[in-house]
Amino acid sequence: MKKSIYITSKLNLVFASVLLLFLLSAAPVRENVADKEPIRLGFIPLTDCAPIVMAKELGLFEKYGVNVIVSKEASWANVRDKILTGELDGAHCLFSMPLSVYTGVGGKEGSEMKIAMVLNNNGQAITLSKDFCGKVGFKQTNKVAPVVAAKLKADKEVTFAMTFPGGTHDIWLRNWLAAAGVSQKTSRIITIPPPQMVSNMKVGNMDGYCVGEPWNGVAVKQNVGFTEISSQDIWKNHPEKALVVNTAFSETRREDLKAVMKAVLEACKWLDNRANRKKAAEVIGKAPYVNAPADVIEARLMGDYNLGCDQGTEIYTDDYMLFHRGGETNFPKKSHAIWFLSQFVRFDYLKEAPDYKAIADKIILQDLYREVATSMKIKIPSDDMKPFALEIDKVSFDPNNPGDYLTKVKKSNAINQ
């Protein structure tokens, strides 16, 4: 028995099979198709990933001649990283993430991602824990502060969660807290992924969170919390998610990007037809996509909000989650970008006012969208850069003069933001 040879051949076998295993599966991320490289779009399991998912499922990408691979991602940070490295060409993404990343709030300052179009309005919400049940009712913003103060006194801390610093949910939450008069300095505001929000609330560690559907609906269904206010009540028809793309992709494969946008636009149109929403909920509810109960998704998609906590049902008639609104939704407005940037200053994410206009011009691919919309005969809104106000505080915001808004809002919400 030549032991040394025996050992060597056994080891060789082990190493060879290990090597084989690696070769089989650690294959490069992209498939190198000889003619055209497929386009990778990422999404996060949320109801508003529907435009991208449905565009794939309805065969719309193929219709417009592009080969798209849709991939589920682990977190917003993940989406950010992959878009920046180019591992994703684009993604279902928080509208304000490119702005947050560019200004250094939620990423390395100066990193550029582009907003090609908006995917949806509305359909996010703030869920409060059952502990507040009966103490503050739906949309009773003025009752929030004393209740929170009481909790703070009793437990020494109060915790709210959102999904990404400088992201849409972060800003909705802070706007709500400001309107309610709750000091953001004494509340813990943390970034965590959706399921931890639900579980923490279940065990009583979380007081409230702001996130997209279906997680608010799920919290109600599991009797873990109740819906306090929806994002459309904070700002009716606000921009929520966008198709955010890698800069190089937008420049070198412009025609492909336009085809993608056309497919997504058509999906958005399809989704706004209420008759299609049931099917949409079934499709996106499946495991490879949102992986949540289709009935919960469907209810809120239809505007049917079971609020939980014996508050009954709130029916939204014209401002539940909408994806198209005849073209109003999808047009990426620079005024909206400027508004988000002003919120970063308002909430002390940025010490100094950024160059609002320049950043909006750089990040938003408005001309590209115009081309696409025109070719599809979709209406292009003409009211960008006009002042507007949010429902929750009614303070007028003029995108041409954000400084003025900031002064006003700091005065009216005397409690520090």
- Residues in contact with another protein by CB under 8 A are 1-4, 6-7, 10-11, 14, 18-19, 21-27, 29, 42, 45, 69-75, 78, 81-82, 85-87, 193-195, 198-199, 202, 218, 287-292
Between 44 and 390, CB nearer to another protein: 44
Rounded to a whole number of angstroms, the minimum distance from the CB of residue 80 to another protein is 10
Rounded to a whole number of angstroms, the minimum distance from the CB of residue 246 to another protein is 12
Long-range contacts at 108-114 (CB < 8 A, ≥ 24 apart) = 111/84, 112/247, 112/362, 112/363, 113/80, 113/83, 113/84, 113/244, 113/245, 113/246, 113/247, 113/363, 114/244, 114/245, 114/246, 114/247, 114/250, 114/363, 114/364, 114/365
* Residue whose pair of structure tokens reads 């690696």 in the numeric block: 22
Rounded to a whole number of angstroms, the minimum distance from the CB of residue 185 to another protein is 28
Q: Are 132 and 140 in contact (CB under 8 A)?
A: no
d(CA 290, CA 280): 11
Q: Are 137 and 306 in contact (CB under 8 A)?
A: no
Which of 227, 202, 205, 207 minimizes the C-alpha distance to 296?
227
Does an H or E element contain 21, and which? helix 3-25
Between 203 and 358, CB nearer to another protein: 203
Rounded to a whole number of angstroms, the minimum distance from the CB of residue 73 to another protein is 5
Between 144 and 197, CB nearer to another protein: 197
Residues shown for the chain: 417
Strands 124-129 and 208-212: antiparallel
Rounded to a whole number of angstroms, the minimum distance from the CB of residue 192 to another protein is 12
d(CA 98, CA 397): 21
Between 21 and 150, CB nearer to another protein: 21
d(CA 297, CA 363): 31
Between 70 and 101, CB nearer to another protein: 70
Between 181 and 293, CB nearer to another protein: 293
Between 54 and 234, CB nearer to another protein: 54
Rounded to a whole number of angstroms, the minimum distance from the CB of residue 210 to another protein is 17
Between 80 and 346, CB nearer to another protein: 80
Rounded to a whole number of angstroms, the minimum distance from the CB of residue 175 to another protein is 26
Q: Are 208 and 129 in contact (CB under 8 A)?
A: yes
Which of 232, 224, 200 minimizes the C-alpha distance to 308?
224
Q: Are 79 and 87 in contact (CB under 8 A)?
A: no
Rounded to a whole number of angstroms, the minimum distance from the CB of residue 400 to another protein is 38
Between 24 and 358, CB nearer to another protein: 24
Q: Which two tokens stand for residue 241?
A: 């998610």
Rounded to a whole number of angstroms, the minimum distance from the CB of residue 21 to another protein is 5
Q: Which two tokens stand for residue 158?
A: 């109060």
